[in-house]
Every structure is written in structure tokens, then in C-alpha cells.
Structure 1
Amino acid sequence: MDRRPDASPPPRDRLSAWGLPLLGVVLAIAVFEVLPRIGLVDRRFLPPASEMFGALFGRIADGSIWEPTVQTMQGWALGLGTALVIALPLGILIGSVFLLFMSTRTIVEFLRPIPSVALIPLAVLVFGAGLESKWFLAAFAATWPILLQTLYGVRDVDPTSIETARSFGIKTPERLWRVVLPSALPYIATGVRISSAVALILAVTAELVLGAPGLGQEINIARQSAAVDQMYALIIATGLIGWLLNIVLSLAERRLLHWHPSQRERNR
């Protein structure tokens, strides 16, 4: 009787996928625990890891972390959502029309390197020091990765596929939907993951600098109060949120693009 080969990865691959990253995390925590305790680092500036995580679990237990987390995620979601609404259609349009691509190239390359934090004075002047400024800064920063990835994804579509669809009489809107967009999706998914991290960074930065409600503001309050363990606990929380968002988006990308060769290769 024929037996199908086992599709599960070999033990060495499973160790590489989970064991080694976990080992790295454990070693990093151990280093942060030991250095302050043996006096190599002043505990006033870097408390042991156990105190940081203790402060984090304390905030989770008493519920004081949830409101600022929601406020930060609100800025992140608004910024990323706005970036998607602006960058996706714009990227498809610019990427599809060669004349438009060439005429806007200089403008895009000029605006893209502008640091979003340099726009903080403008944001405060126009929107004040609240959610709107955080939204604006996160949206501005998150727009560029999605726009550029969409644009170059559309430009990278095989011309033969487009010409074949055109020869069969498929109209432009349907051609974009059935040929261009599926081919550009891997690029777009990468842009969304990058923009997600960028939007979170800018949301927290706006809270730190402007005092807008959220995790960044709580980090600043803890710093001013010399509550160093609380400050690091909130920083760890911010990092965990970014890590979880990346995992969720990576899983969504894998499920959405299960048909794509890059995902089939990754799943082997």
C-alpha cells in the first residue's frame, strides 16, 4: 500500500522555527536580570527584568494598562486605515499609467524621506495636541510603504498577462481586479506589515512628544516620576503589541496568499 510522505517539518526545522528564537528571548531576559543584580548596571537606570515584568503584570492585573493601550491602538488603526484608503488606489493608479508614474516619481521621492516627527509642529498648529495629530502623523508615515509597494507591485506585473487579458476583451476595471491586483498582492501585503509597525511607532512617538493620551504618555509620566520599572513595563507592552500585530498580519498574509508560490515555498 502506498504511503504518503509525512508533510510535517523535521524536528531540526521545528527547533529552528521555535526553539532557537525562544532560547534567544530567555537569554536576553537572563542578561537583563543579572546585569543590575551584579552591579554592572545601576538599578536606578535598568532594574532587573523580574521587576519590569512584575510591574507589567501588576498593571495588567489592576487594569491600568488597558485604557492607554486602547488609546494607542485607536491612533494606530486610524493612521493605518487612512494610509490604506489613500495609498492603495493611488499606488494602483500611478503604477498602471506610465506617464503618471514618471511625472510623480520626483514628488514621491521628495516627500517620502521627510521624517514624520519633523511634521509635529505643523500637526500641533493645525490639529492641536490630541488624537487628530497622532492620527495625521501615523497616517503620513504609514502611507509611503503601502504606496511604494503597491506602485512597484503593479509595475512588476507580467505584461504578457495584461496583453492576454486585453486580447480576450476584458475591460480595464476587471483587468485590474483579476490580473493586476492578484499579482501585486504580495507586494501590498509586505507594505501593510511595514506600515503597521511604522504607524504604531508614530502613534507612541506622538504620545511621548505631544502628551496625547496613550502608552507613550504613560511612559513619559513614569519617567518623570522616576518609576523606572513602570517605564520599562510600558515599553515592553509597546514592543509586545508590535510583535503581536506582526504575527497577526503575517498569518493573514499567509492565508490570503496561500496560492502564491512564495507562500507555498515558505510552508514546505
Structure 2
Amino acid sequence: MYRFGLGLAGVVGVIALLELVVRLGLLPEAWFPPPSEIFPAFARLVVSGELFGPVGQTLQGWVLGILAAAAVALPLGIAIGSIELAHRLTRFMLEFLRPIPPVALIPAAVLIFGSNLDMKVFLIAFGTFWPILLQTVYGIHDTDPTLRDTARSYGLPRRARLVRIVLPSALPYIATGLRIASAIGLILAITAELVVGTPGIGVSITDAQSAGDAQDVMYAWILAAGLLGFLLNGSLQAVERRVLHWHTSFRGEAR
């Protein structure tokens, strides 16, 4: 509760500072309207229901993209992390492909899929695939060798060792990978909407910016994007704490 109070005080302080800076003319209102205009614009979007359609469209691409990435990255990461030969064979290829910015694939994605949901899902899936894959591999590799050797000495089959020892040990890494992927996926979803024009929050930001005299609405949509990211991250953290409450890395937080 104390940390929450400090965080809330910090947010209120930043909002008050922005209001003061704009009202004093240190920041032109044409560039950034005061928060006292942005928040009412956001409230109007909520009350009118205009907010929920674009948010739902952005969330749809986000969910489908991350599910597609996880469906491939999790089993592949388990295989690469468990089999040393597979890790050696794929290491160079992974290090080559991983630095490719997903945004650089937008022209190719539009050419293949068109300017639609499929393109957005592909872009999100490509960008979120890597943190999920790599965190899974790291988690499998980081399993305590003593536990592995003990299980092997007791004659536990490979599948049982994987299910009872390796995967539980790797779960915090996998959860971290999913949270990182969540943030990346939302960024890519809105980027695709801004650049290509697929429906969602990004298009709403562009439309408000094109209106010329609707800066408060544009920043209200940007605020919506930030709140959505905050809620998604908070939800994933809550699920992570609940599912992994038994793990040593979370016991301190529980207290």
C-alpha cells in the first residue's frame, strides 16, 4: 500500500507539473494541450463508447499474435534448451534472426498478407517470438544440475524429469518472456496501425492528428494506449504471482 501511494503521488505530481508547464507557456498548447483538457477528452471517449471498438481491435491482434508466437516458441525453446545438439545447431541462426527489427518486415508483410489483421498478427508474432523462445531456453538451461543428476540417478524417465523438475524451474523465465512479449506486442500492434492503417488505437491517433484541431483527442488516444499497456502488464504480473507463489523468487514478495 505504501509503494502504491508513492507511485500514485508521483503520477499526480507529473500531471500537475505538465499542467503548470503548459499554462505558463513553457510548452506550446499547439504541441501539447494541458492534462485538464486531455482527461475530459478521454472521459468523452469512454462515455460515448468510442474508445472500446479500437481498443478491442488492438487487443485482438495482440492476443492472436502472442498466442501464435507462444505456440511455436514454447515447444521449440523446450527442445533447444533440453537437447544440447539442437542448441548448438540453432544458436547461430537465432543470433542472426533475432536482431531483425519487426518493423522492417512491414513492407514484406503488407505484400504477403495485405493491410489487414493477418499482417498485424504476423508482425506481432515475429516480434514476440524471440523473448518467449530465448527466455524458455535460458530457463531450461538454468535448471539446477544437482536436481537433474539426482532425478537421473533415481531412474526418473526423461519426460518425468522434464515435467517435474525442468519445467517448474523454468516457469519464472517463461513468465518473464511472456511479460516482455506483452509489451513488445502492444507496441507492434499500434505501430502497424499507425503505419499501415489497420483498425485499432493507432488509426484513431492518426485520425485525431489529421483533424488538426483535435490535439486533446489525439493525446487521449495516446493515454488509452498507455493505460492499456499498464493494465496488461499488471494483469500478467498478478497471474504470475498467483501461479508461481510457490517458487522461491516470489516468496519474498508474498511477505
Shared fold (TM-score, shorter chain, > 0.5): yes
CA distances 1:150-170 after superposition (whole Å, capped 9, x unpaired): 001000111221222223232
Q: How far apart are residue 171 of structure 1 and its match?
A: 1.9
Distance in 2 between residues matched to 1:129 and 1:203, nearest whole Å: 13
**Structure 1 counterpart of 2:240, from 234, 249, 253:** 253
User: 1:175 is paired with a residue of what secondary structure?
Assistant: helix
**Matched residue, 2:7:** 21
**Matched residue, 1:5:** none
Alignment gaps of 5+ in structure 2: none
**Matched residue, 2:113:** 127
Distance in 2 between residues matched to 1:173 and 1:217, nearest whole Å: 47
**Matched residue, 2:164:** 178
Distance in 1 between residues matched to 2:27 and 2:249, nearest whole Å: 45
Q: How far apart are residue 112 of structure 1 and its match?
A: 0.8
Matches within 5 A, 1:35-50: 35-50=21-36
Distance in 2 between residues matched to 1:230 and 1:221, nearest whole Å: 10
Matches within 5 A, 1:30-69: 30-69=16-55
**Matched residue, 2:188:** 202
CA distances 1:24-77 after superposition (whole Å, capped 9, x unpaired): 100111122122211111111100001111111000000011110100000000
**Is 1:70 matched with 2:60?**
no
**Matched residue, 2:253:** 266
Distance in 2 between residues matched to 1:52 and 1:256, nearest whole Å: 37
User: 1:123 is paired with a residue of what secondary structure?
Assistant: helix
**Is 1:158 matched with 2:144?**
yes
Distance in 1 between residues matched to 2:227 and 2:96, nearest whole Å: 33
Q: How far apart are residue 104 of structure 1 and its match?
A: 0.8
Distance in 1 between residues matched to 2:102 and 2:17, nearest whole Å: 34
CA distances 1:87-142 after superposition (whole Å, capped 9, x unpaired): 11111000001111112111111111110000001100000011011000111011
**Matched residue, 1:3:** none
For the Cα contact (< 8 Å) 2:191–2:202, is it kept in 1? Answer: yes
TM-score (norm 1): 0.93
Distance in 2 between residues matched to 1:244 and 1:43, nearest whole Å: 29
**Matched residue, 2:199:** 213
**Structure 1 counterpart of 2:85, from 95, 99, 102:** 99
Distance in 2 between residues matched to 1:234 and 1:46, nearest whole Å: 13
**Matched residue, 2:219:** 232
**Is 1:79 matched with 2:65?**
yes
Distance in 2 between residues matched to 1:228 and 1:109, nearest whole Å: 42
Coordinate RMSD, CA, aligned: 0.9
User: 1:23 is paired with a residue of what secondary structure?
Assistant: helix
Percentage of pairs with the same residue: 55
**Structure 2 counterpart of 1:110, from 93, 96, 120:** 96
**Matched residue, 1:8:** none
Q: How far apart are residue 19 of structure 1 and its match?
A: 1.7
Distance in 2 between residues matched to 1:261 and 1:200, nearest whole Å: 30
Distance in 2 between residues matched to 1:238 and 1:253, nearest whole Å: 23
